């Protein structure tokens, strides 16, 4: 692991090491705890190089806030990062980052700053922390420019910050994927925070009441309550048990736009800020009213597509046939006569194309596919499309655009999809993630049976095993959409099980999950 305190050192290191490798950035203010660890671990799983920045950013602290007091423990943080498998720590001084000492000069007025939309910065924490999100947006923009990561990781714990950064990156066309990680909590329910260090033992015992209040609202929500006043009251009633809690706000907003909500339609963010003594704590809970998303990943030949279709059919969910989408795009590229090496022309075409998938029954053949107003249900199964679809699907731009479309399709839930990275990349917040696998021997045996059924049984079992092993190796190491098991995926080994048995297992997992969500 390397530590850099200068921009020059960081840049030089990244220039030398990043060739063809993905970089994940985890921006922090240090005093690292298990909440940060979830971000780092996720970044470790998804990138070749992990950079953690540690910087207590003076721009985001207001007068009278805890800038001086904020815990600084670089040596401990270094050990923490080393153990977590971090490659690079970037820990600059304020002078290095802003060219001036913030305590000597008024950098607030002398430095270019990034101003997110006022509607997003003036509510929730914005009331008591004017200028805070401008400071956050400015430092995050600088860090993104300096590290140029493929992905940057932020915690759902700071939900307002996350929404603002997502907007910032979209509005300013910053080429990075923002990945959000769910809130890590102590066994008591208290969300981990560097500021928990300020709490006395007595306050630490009281602090989990924030989570209890949110849980109470979550239960009320799951029981059908959608109204702002009642949901907020569910939090307040719990908090009233502890006199020492001074509530700053309890708000219900839309998680993406941060617009206050009177009613939760598909989703809401219930957010709270409160003080215990002089320590300010924040916490939140996502209230989701959408139908579930089930993501099924796994190696080739584990039976994913058949099982996925059956699960969709039996639960009455839509089978999001991502393969059909790639085929439709391939058909469109072929039809337009674009050379496959002309990626920019393909990018233009794909980013404007409109794909519709409409299922008119439960059978696979009942899925009808349109692209740009033309029905291509039959055409996408042609030999020409089959021969070219993998070349087209291998283009990063095609994948990027289609993942966006898939996410739009599933924004209201009610979808089952399968692939190699559906649970890790396409739908990281899917309600149920399954990693369907089978031993190489079993998959080879199934393949041989299929080939014999098709009268093509000349390949040996050993050869098929070797092919499958090679394919697994290629699929899990490819840069584009590598096969990965999400940390929260349930692995099902299908060796010795029939397709209906596996389907039943997924359906029962789904019902179990749905009832646990109901119980909050």
155 interacts with ligand AMP by CB under 6 A = yes
Compare residues 182 and 236 and give the one whose CB is closer to ligand AMP. 182
Q: Are 289 and 410 in contact (CB under 8 A)?
A: no
Q: Is 46 in the site for ligand AMP (CB under 6 A)?
A: no
Signed CA dihedral, 470, 472, 477, 479: sign only: positive
Angle of the 461-477 helix axis to the 440-453 helix axis, nearest 10: 120
Euclidean distance between CA atoms 60 and 134, whole angstroms:
7
Over the window 10 to 39, marking each residue x when it contacts ligand AMP by CB under 6 A and - when it does not, the resulting string is ------------------xx-----xx-xx
Contacts of 450 (CB under 8 A, 6+ apart): none
End-to-end CA distance of the chain: 40
Is there a binding annotation on residue 29?
yes
Query: How many residues make contact with ligand AMP (CB under 6 A)?
Result: 17
Specify the DSSP element, H or E, that contains 356. strand 355-359
| From 152, 183, 235, 287, residue interacting with ligand AMP (rule: CB under 6 A) | 183
Q: Which of 13, 17, 36, 425 is catalytic?
A: 36
Cβ pair 292, 510 in contact under 8 A:
yes
284 or 322, CB closer to ligand AMP?
284
Task: Name which of 155 and 299 has its Cβ closer to ligand AMP.
Answer: 155
We find the least distance from the C-beta atom of residue 188 to ligand AMP, in angstroms, to be: 13
CB 84 within 8 A of CB 37: yes
Work out how close the CB of 30 gets to ligand AMP at its nearest, in angstroms, rounded to a whole number. 6
- The two three-digit tokens of residue 227, written as one number: 């109204």
HSE toward the beta carbon, residue 61, CA cutoff 13 A: 17
Q: Residue 128 is encoded by which pair of tokens?
A: 């008591």
Q: Tell me if residue 17 is catalytic.
A: no
Residue 424 beta carbon to ligand AMP: minimum distance, rounded to whole angstroms: 18
277 carries a ligand binding annotation: no
Q: Applying CB under 6 A, does 59 fall inside the site for ligand AMP?
A: no
Cα 191 from chain centre? 19
**Residue 505 assigned ligand-binding role:** no
**Helical packing angle, 322-336 and 343-352, nearest 10°:** 120
Minimum Å gap between C-beta 31 and ligand AMP is: 7
Burial (CB < 10 A; 0-12, 13-18, 19+), residue 316, is exposed
Q: Which two tokens stand for residue 120?
A: 């997003």
- The answer to the question of residue 331 lying near ligand AMP (CB under 6 A) is no
Site string for ligand AMP, 187-226 (x = CB under 6 A): ----xxxx--------------------------------
Q: Which is nearer to ligand AMP, 276 or 436 (CB)?
A: 276
Q: Which is nearer to ligand AMP, 177 or 359 (CB)?
A: 177
Active site members:
36
Residue positions forming the annotated binding site for (R)-pantoate? 60, 161
**Given the rule CB under 6 A, which residues bind ligand AMP?**
28-29, 35-36, 38-39, 154-155, 157-158, 181, 183-184, 191-194
């Amino acid at each position: 692991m390397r530590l850099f305190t200068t921009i020059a050192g960081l840049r030089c290191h990244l220039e030398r090491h990043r060739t063809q490798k993905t970089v994940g950035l985890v921006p922090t203010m240090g005093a690292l705890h298990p909440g940060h660890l979830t971000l780092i671990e996720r970044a470790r799983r998804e990138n070749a190089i992990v950079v953690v920045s540690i910087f207590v950013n003076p721009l985001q602290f207001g007068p009278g806030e805890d800038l001086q007091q904020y815990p600084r423990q670089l040596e401990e943080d270094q050990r923490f990062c080393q153990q977590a498998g971090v490659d690079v720590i970037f820990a600059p001084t304020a002078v290095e980052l802003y060219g001036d000492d913030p305590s000597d000069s008024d950098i607030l007025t002398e430095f270019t700053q990034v101003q997110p939309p006022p509607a997003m910065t003036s509510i929730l924490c914005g009331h008591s922390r004017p200028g805070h999100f401008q400071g956050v947006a400015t430092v995050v923009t600088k860090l993104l420019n300096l590290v140029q990561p493929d992905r940057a990781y932020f915690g759902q714990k700071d939900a307002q910050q996350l929404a603002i950064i997502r907007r910032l990156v979209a509005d300013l066309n910053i080429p990075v994927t923002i990945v959000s990680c769910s809130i890590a909590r102590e066994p008591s329910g208290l969300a981990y925070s560097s500021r928990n260090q300020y709490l006395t033992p007595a306050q630490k015992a009281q602090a989990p009441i924030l989570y209890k209040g949110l849980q109470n609202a979550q239960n009320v929500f799951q029981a059908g309550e959608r109204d702002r006043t009642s949901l907020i009251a569910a939090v307040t009633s719990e908090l009233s048990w502890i006199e020492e809690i001074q509530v700053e706000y309890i708000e219900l907003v839309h998680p993406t736009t941060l617009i206050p909500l009177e009613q939760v339609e598909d989703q809401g963010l219930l957010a709270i800020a409160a003080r215990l003594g002089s320590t300010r704590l924040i916490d939140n809970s996502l209230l989701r009213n959408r139908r579930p998303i089930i993501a099924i990943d796994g190696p080739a030949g584990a039976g994913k597509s058949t099982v996925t279709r059956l699960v969709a059919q039996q639960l009455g969910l839509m089978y999001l046939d991502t393969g059909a989408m790639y085929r439709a795009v391939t058909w469109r590229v072929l039809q337009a006569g674009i050379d496959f090496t002309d990626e920019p022309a393909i990018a233009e075409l794909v980013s404007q194309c409109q794909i519709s998938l409409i299922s008119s029954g439960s059978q696979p053949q009942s899925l009808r596919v349109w692209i740009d107003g033309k029905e291509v249900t039959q055409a996408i199964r042609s030999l020409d499309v089959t021969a070219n679809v993998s070349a087209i699907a291998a283009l990063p731009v095609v994948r990027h655009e289609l993942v966006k479309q898939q996410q739009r399709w599933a924004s209201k839930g009610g979808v089952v999809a399968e692939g190699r990275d559906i649970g890790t990349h396409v739908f990281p917040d899917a309600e149920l993630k399954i990693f369907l696998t089978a031993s190489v021997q079993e998959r080879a045996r199934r393949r041989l049976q299929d080939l014999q059924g098709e009268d093509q049984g000349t390949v040996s079992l050993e050869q098929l095993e070797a092919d499958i092993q090679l394919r697994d190796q290629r699929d899990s190491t490819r840069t584009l959409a590598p096969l990965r098991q999400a940390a929260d995926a349930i692995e099902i080994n299908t060796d010795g099980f029939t397709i209906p048995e596996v389907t039943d297992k997924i359906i029962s997992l789904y019902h179990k999950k749905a009832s646990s969500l109901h119980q909050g």
